[in-house]
Amino acid sequence: MSDVVDDLTRWLLQRLDWIAEQPWVDEFLTEAAGLRGTNMARWPLVDRARPLRGHTCIRCGGTGLMLYPPSSPGWPIAILCSNVQCGHSIPEDEWHQITERLEQYRGKRSA
Ligand SMILES: [Zn+2]
C-alpha cells in the first residue's frame, strides 16, 4: 500500500504546475485536505496525549490524569492532572514507580 501511495504522490508532484492550472484544482484541494484531516485523526504520525483511565490524582482524587508523550526524542513524558484547580504533575520516574507497584499489587491479587 505504501508503494502505491509513494508512486501516486510522486506522479502528482511531477504534475503540480499542470494541476494548479486546472479548473477543478479548488475541488481537488478541498477533497485532499478533507482526506488528510480524516486520516491524520485516525492514524496520527505522532503520539497524542491520552487519559490514564483507572488512575486517580493523589492530590485531588480526580480521574483526569493525562499522559503527554515526549515532545522530542529523549525528553520525558509528562503526567498531569487535567483538573484546572489542581494541575498536579507527576515526574516520570515517580510515575514508573507507581505503575510498577500497581503491577506487583495486581500480580499478588491474581496469584
Ligand atoms: Zn488532581
Q: What is the mean pLDDT of residues 13-33?
A: 94
Q: What is the mean pLDDT of residues 83-89?
A: 94
Characterise 67 by phi-psi region: left (phi > 0), alpha (psi -120 to 50), beta (else).
beta
Global confidence as pTM: 0.56
Distance 102 CA to ligand 1 centre (A): 19
Distance 58 CA to ligand 1 centre (A): 7
Distance 97 CA to ligand 1 centre (A): 18
pLDDT band at 3 (very low <50, low <70, confident <90, very high): confident
Distance 93 CA to ligand 1 centre (A): 18
Residue 51 predicted with pLDDT over 70? yes
- On whether the CB atoms of residues 60 and 85 are closer than 8 A, the answer is yes
Q: What is the model's pLDDT at position 27? A: 96
Residue 79 CA from chain centroid, whole number: 14
55-69: per-residue pLDDT in tens? Answer: 899 899 999 999 998
- On whether the CB atoms of residues 92 and 85 are closer than 8 A, the answer is no
Q: What is the model's pLDDT at position 1? A: 64
SS3 86: coil
